[in-house]
Chains A and B, each alone.
Chain A
Amino acid sequence: MKHSKYLPYLLSAPGLVLLLAILYPFLTGAWWSFNSYRLNRGEAKFNWGENYLTLVTSGEGIHALFITLVYTISTVGIETLLGIAIAMLLNRGSYGAFFRLLIVLPLLLPPVVATLMWKVMLTQNGLVNFLLESVGLPTSLWFNGPDTALASVILIDVWIFTPFVILLAQAGLRSVPTELRDASAMDGAGPIINFFSVTLPLLRPVLVVIIIFRGIDSLKMFDIIYTSTKGGPVDATTNFHVLAYLDGIRSLNFGMAMASLMVLWALTNFVSSRLLKIRRSEALN
C-alpha cells in the first residue's frame, strides 16, 4: 500500500515527543552526576566525576553493587527453577486450572501491599515465628537481623513473582508439541533427558522473556526493599536503587544519587539490550 514519506513519522510523533521530553530530565540528571550538588547547599558545581570515585572509595557503591547482584541472581534463579517446575506440574492434570487461580494471586497485589503482609507475618512475635517455635525450630529475626534481612526480602520477591514465571512458562510449555515428547520417550529417553533435550530448547524464547523481566526488575528493585527494611539494618539490604533514594530524597545529595542511578542504568541497559536483541531475532525467525 502506498503512503506518504512522512506518514510513519507523523504517526509516531506523539511517542517521539514523549521521548524527547524525557531526554530533558535524563540529561539534567546525567549532568548532576558529575556535580557536587546538595539541595540544601546551593548551586551545583562540576567536580570531574568525583561522585563516581566516591562510590568506589567509600565502599558504598561496591556494597550496593554486591547486594544488587546477590538479590538479582537469587531471585531470578529461584523463581525460574520453581516457576518452570510448578508450570510443568500444572500442565499435568485437569486440576491445573483450579490451582492456577490460587497460585497466581500474589502477582496481582501491589508489591508494596504484599510486602506489608509479610512484614506482619515475620515480626518477632509473628505467625511464622510462632509456627517455627511450635514445631521446635529456632525462630528468626527476619528483617531485623543483619544476616537474615536480605534472605527475607528475597523470600517476598519469590512469593510475589514466581507466579509470573509460572504463567509464562505454562504458555511456553503448551507450545511444545506432545508428539515430540512422545517420540523421544519412544526412543527410550527418560523424563530428565526428555526435559533437557526436548522441552527446554523449545522453552527458550519464553525463558528469554522471563529473564528480561525478572532480571531487570530485580536489578532495580525498590518497592519490596524500601517498604520492608528501608535498606537496613544498617546497609544489609541497600541495593543501588535504594541507595540512590536514600542519597537523593533523604540526604538531598542529588549528585551522589544520580551517580548511583547512572551506574544502575548502565547495568540494566547493558542486560536489557543484549537480551532484547536475542528476543527480537528469535521473534523474527
Chain B
Amino acid sequence: MSLLTEHQKLQNKRKLKKVAGHSVTILALTAWSLFALAPIVWIFLMSLKVPGDIIVYPPKFDFVPTLNNYAEVLNGSEFLSAFWNSVIITLGALLLTLVIGLPTAYALARFKFKGREAIGFNILSLRFAPELLIVLPLYLIYQKTGLFDTHLGLILAYQLVTLPMLVWMLRSFIEDLPPELEEAVAIDGGNRWTAFRHVLFRLIAPGLGASLMLSFIWAWNSYTLPLVLGGRNTQVITTGIQQYISYQAIEWGPMAAATVVSMIPGILFALVSLRWIVGGLTAGTVKG
C-alpha cells in the first residue's frame, strides 16, 4: 500500500516537473517571439498613423488609423518603379543563374576531371568574398562600357550573389543521388541527356526549388550591388526605401508603409518553402 503511494508520488512529481518544463519553454519562446515581432508590429502601426501621431512623445498606442501613407506610396511612381526594378533584376538574375549553374553543378557532381575542385571552390568563394572587392572595380568598368545603371548590368553583377549558392546546393543534391540511376537509363538505351531529363531532374526538382528560393531572397535583399552599380533608373527596393530619409527630414509614415509593402514578397516566398530552404542549406550535413 505504502509502496503504491510512493510510486504515485514519484509519478506526480515527474508529471509536475514535465508541466513546469513545458511552461518554462513556452514562456521563453513567447519572450523571444515578442522580441522578434515587436519591430514589425511597431512599423506596421506607424504605417497607419498620421504624421502628428508619429512624432509625439510618449509614443501613441491608440490612434485613429489611416491608409494615407499606403496611398501615397502606391500612387507615387518612385516606390512602384523600385518594386518593379527589384522584380525584373531578381528574376533576370535567377534565370541567368539557372542557365549557368545547372550544367556546372551537374558536371561538378557527376564527373571527375582536372580542375574540378578548383572550379567548385572558386565559384563558392565568390559568395564569401566581400561584395565591394568586385563591385568597386566594376563601378568604373560599368561607367566606361555603359552598363552602369542598367538592368542588364545589375543582372550580370547579381550573379555574385545568386550563382555560388545555387551551384553549391545543386551539387550536393545531385551527389546525394546514386549514379546507378542514370546508368539504369543507359542500359535501357537512353543517353545521358534523357537520363538527366527523365530521372535526375525530377528527383532534384524540390532541391532546385529550394535553391532558387534562397537565391531569390538573397538577391531581393541585396543592397551593396544596387547601391554602387545602380542609379536613378535602377533604384531597387533596398536603395529606394532610403529615399524617404533625406538630410532635411525623414518621411516616417510613407517610409513605414513602403517597409511593410517590401516585406511581403520575401515572407510569402519563404513561408511556402521554409522546409525546402533548410533542406538545401543543410544538404549533405543531415543524414536520414
Contacts and interface: CB of A to CB of B under 8 A. Distances in A.
Interface of A: 1, 3, 7-9, 11-16, 18-19, 22, 24-26, 28-29, 32, 39, 86, 89-90, 92-93, 95, 99, 101-114, 116-118, 120-121, 125-127, 130, 134, 159, 163, 167-168, 170-172, 174-175, 205-206, 208-209, 212-213, 216, 219-220, 222-223, 226-227, 240-241, 244-245, 248-249, 254, 257-258, 261-262, 264-265, 268-269, 272-273, 276, 279, 282-283
A148 to B, nearest CB: 18
Contacts of A276: 121, 124
Nearest to B195: A1
B11 interface: no
B228 interface: yes
Contacts of B123: 15, 19
Interface string B37-68: 11110110010000000010111000000000
A175 B288 contact: yes
B264 to A, nearest CB: 10
Nearest to A127: B59
B73 interface: no
B69 interface: no
A223 B107 CA distance: 34
A198 to B, nearest CB: 16
Contacts of A121: 38-39, 42
Contacts of B33: 99, 102-103
Given A7-B107, A93-B25, 20 more contacts: A9-B113, A11-B103, A15-B167, A19-B122, A25-B141, A26-B134, A86-B29, A92-B21, A101-B271, A103-B32, A108-B270, A112-B238, A112-B241, A167-B278, A206-B285, A209-B282, A219-B130, A226-B223, A249-B139, A254-B140
A32 to B, nearest CB: 7
A261 B133 CA distance: 6
A261 B106 contact: no
Nearest to B217: A108
Given A8-B107, A175-B288, A116 B137 contact: no
Interface of B: 21-22, 25-26, 28-30, 32-33, 35-40, 42-43, 46, 55, 57-59, 99-101, 103-104, 106-108, 111, 113, 116, 119, 121-126, 128-134, 136-141, 159-160, 163, 167, 172, 179, 182-183, 186, 192, 195, 217, 220-221, 223-224, 228, 237-238, 241-242, 245, 252, 255-256, 259, 262-263, 266-267, 269-271, 274, 277-279, 281-282, 284-288
Counting from the closest, the 10 A-B pairs by CB-CB distance are: A15-B104, A11-B107, A25-B137, A8-B111, A110-B221, A205-B285, A283-B284, A29-B137, A272-B128, A14-B100
Task: Report which residue of B22, B39, B126, B163 has the largest number of chain A beta carbons within 10 angstroms of its beta carbon.
Answer: B39
Contact of A25 (B106, B113, B134, B242): B134
B107 A109 contact: no
B113 A8 contact: yes
Contacts of A241: 130-132
B133 A14 contact: no
Contact of A273 (B121, B172, B284): B121
Contact of B119 (A12, A212, A220, A245): A12
Contacts of B129: 220, 265, 268-269
A85 B73 CA distance: 40
Nearest to B262: A113
Contacts of B100: 14-15, 18
B115 to A, nearest CB: 8
Given A113-B259, A248-B132, A108 B111 contact: no
Contacts of A111: 221, 223
Given A25-B137, A25-B141, A112-B242, A206 B107 contact: no
Nearest to A173: B286
Nearest to B136: A248
B175 to A, nearest CB: 8
B104 to A, nearest CB: 4
A93 B271 CA distance: 21
